[in-house]
A = this chain, B = another copy of it.
């Protein structure tokens, strides 16, 4: 274990089974055998999304899926309500503007959730809003937005419901059909625990009705092309996919299927609770309120008198644990522990051992073992 332990909000630690899968021989991506793998992966994705709709695999990062979710539904000057409660909310806003849309911003202070009533209010006041984008799990702030409750609101409006579950799918409750989500997408390298480089997206019938009326100004991420190619014999992607990463994602999804999605989500909830309790036991404070905090990443206020590079540098260089810093205006003010994917007590026992040693080195007066004690309490 004398190697770096990734405790980031993605990429996460990849299991040996997945590493072995991506080492398999590359096959022709236009062959029947690859078509079978593609279909299986797509079906397993839909199972995790909890949707009867088809899922499509994009060769790109989560941001490619973000772009696909906007660019395919947007005619010039269409209005999109972008909930902005962190960095990834901002990114969906920026994509909306980049593709000629008109972003209606619903700003939420970083560290808070969006209130479903605020979305309702905005929709009531503006009938032209074509879609609402919500980031489920804001890794930048460690907060999970209430996508189920927002779904209840959305059911009364025609606007499409677009949800970014890049860093929550497989680690928190997502029910695409149950919540009435029209477009949903996820990244391979987060809770799904495959290597980075792939994204998946699924679209409802209502979503397709909108997409079919749009003359997309995107080519690589044109979802109509994905739909057409996947309906061929054999099923294909429109452009060359990352064949070995499809193997990896397929294997990662099989692992989730064997584990059971509910069991996996519960495991993430336990890990998140353990992480928060351990943080408090070390006299550190959480950035967001506990009741809105994420199941997959915990944001922690940087303790007084220590810099980001001292804290994260020490834990990285001395103890080989990689934590995430804050982004944008939170840079230096918070640090973040990702606990997603194949998370067990083992990663958290290491992380809090490392954090205890780091804090002691930085002259903080903490009780030895106090952090790990909380991890063990939650995981017993």
Residues of A that sit less than 8 Å from B by CB: 1-3, 5, 13, 15-16, 319-320, 342, 344-347, 349-350, 353-354, 356-357, 360-361, 367-377, 379-380
Contact = CB atoms under 8 A, between A and B. Distances in A.
A361 B380 CA distance: 8
A380 to B, nearest CB: 4
23 contacts: A1-B342, A1-B346, A2-B344, A3-B16, A345-B350, A345-B353, A346-B350, A349-B350, A349-B353, A353-B372, A353-B375, A357-B376, A360-B380, A361-B380, A367-B373, A368-B369, A368-B373, A368-B374, A369-B369, A369-B371, A369-B373, A372-B372, A372-B373
B380 A347 contact: no
Given A369-B373, A372-B353, A373-B369, A1 B380 contact: no
Contacts of A360: 376, 380
Given A357-B376, A368-B374, A372-B372, 10 more contacts: A319-B345, A345-B350, A349-B372, A353-B372, A360-B380, A367-B369, A368-B369, A368-B377, A369-B376, A370-B373
Contacts of A319: 345
Given A349-B349, A350-B349, A356 B376 contact: yes
Nearest to A368: B373
A229 B373 CA distance: 57
Nearest to A373: B369
A369 B371 CA distance: 8
A342 B2 contact: yes
A368 B368 CA distance: 11
Contacts of A320: 344, 346
A347 B373 CA distance: 16
Contacts of A370: 369, 373
Interface class of chain A by DSSP: helix
Q: Which 7 pairs of residues, A with B, have the shortest CB-CB distance? A: A369-B373, A369-B369, A368-B373, A349-B353, A372-B372, A1-B346, A357-B380
Contacts of A346: 1, 5, 320, 350, 353
A319 B369 CA distance: 19
B353 A376 contact: yes
A369 B374 CA distance: 8
Task: Name, among A346, A350, A357, the residue most crowded by chain B CB atoms within 10 Å (CB to CB).
Answer: A346
Contacts of A357: 345, 376, 379-380
Contacts of A354: 345
Task: Name, among A3, A373, A376, the residue most crowded by chain B CB atoms within 10 Å (CB to CB).
Answer: A376
Nearest to A341: B2
A350 B351 CA distance: 10
Contacts of A371: 369
Given A349-B372, A361-B380, A370-B369, A1 B16 contact: no
Contact of A13 (B1, B345, B353, B372): B1
A356 B380 CA distance: 9
Contacts of A13: 1
A173 B5 CA distance: 30
A367 B373 CA distance: 8
Contacts of A356: 376
Nearest to A23: B23
A372 B370 CA distance: 9
A243 B109 CA distance: 61
Contacts of A15: 2-3
Nearest to A345: B353
